[in-house]
Chains A and B, each alone.
Chain A
């Protein structure tokens, strides 16, 4: 079993880690509940607003529904993701990755950062409308055979594929 990543072919050990991730999600349901990430974002906002405008935060029904940041197991999972990403890269002796330009239109890091910001805004806004993200709705949702997980995944891949393909094609058309 190899865990090295061949960057020339893009081959990754997804079979090995796919099986492990399935077991990990099961351990999570045994320990406290299904994994999830995106709810942490509004909980961070809740803590910040509580510092700045405590009356508004206390009266906002969404923040009250989401609960306190440090009372949720999910918050510690998100801190773990940060450490896990660090360990994954360092134990494999990988250098800090260079900024990847992912669409043909991203010719400067400024354009890349703009896309990352817009993308980050939309994934969290969309996830909060739906009540979950790739982790909570797709991985945990479909693992539990939740109807909502299948509907969310269908929506994500419909526009995700369309957007990624359009951003490539439109540029090719503009160059021609």
Chain B
């Protein structure tokens, strides 16, 4: 049954990504050059809405929430992010948007996905020798801001969400254009 939910949520997610043009590598690069901030704002708004909803629901129906926090192994997470950013800047796709782009009929998205498949193959081959030692460094476990600050997660969610909303409101969408 979760496979069916997964499919439905994937269809909706792909639809949203296509409509905000996050599957356009040109749009992604304009966002990374800080010329147009619409995709960055889209992501920030998604998180601002999501965090208040999930931690709000968690106060009411905690047993229904399937949280799954990823471990914070500081070196590997940061290094992975830095490598990811270079690829994001060069290609203009992320692993999900390349799949959406293929659905849209973008040929370079197929090439990006093939690059990703080769990347996953090389990663699998070097995992034991190169990667496993890195992910053991400074592993703080599955921690959230609430664990670090000892503040209620719902209160934190409201505060972080408010900060995101203020930043979204203050920043222009089209940089350099009249607002």
Contacts and interface: CB of A to CB of B under 8 A. Distances in A.
Interface of A: 3, 5, 9-15, 17-35, 37-38, 40-42, 44-46, 49, 60-63, 73-89, 92, 94, 96-97, 99-103, 109, 112-113, 115-165, 167-168
Contacts of A118: 87, 90-91, 115
Q: Which 9 A-B pairs have the closest CB atoms?
A: A119-B91, A80-B10, A84-B14, A155-B81, A22-B49, A130-B80, A120-B115, A122-B87, A85-B103
Contacts of B143: 146-148
Contact of A145 (B24, B51, B79): B51
Nearest to B51: A143
A82 B71 CA distance: 29
A173 to B, nearest CB: 15
Interface in B42-92: 42-51, 53-55, 57, 64-74, 76-92
Contacts, number: 517
B179 interface: no
Nearest to B29: A102
B11 A80 contact: yes
Interface centre among B27, B36, B65, B103 (most CB of A within 10 A): B103
Contacts of A146: 69-70, 72, 142-145
A62 B121 CA distance: 11
B21 A144 contact: no
Contacts of B96: 37-38, 78, 81, 133-135
Nearest to A138: B43
A19 B91 contact: no
A88 B7 contact: no
Contacts of B108: 99-100, 109, 112-113, 116
A145 B146 contact: yes
Given A32-B2, A87-B11, A161 B34 contact: yes
Contacts of B64: 30
Contact of B50 (A3, A25, A153): A25
Contacts of A63: 124
A143 B86 contact: no
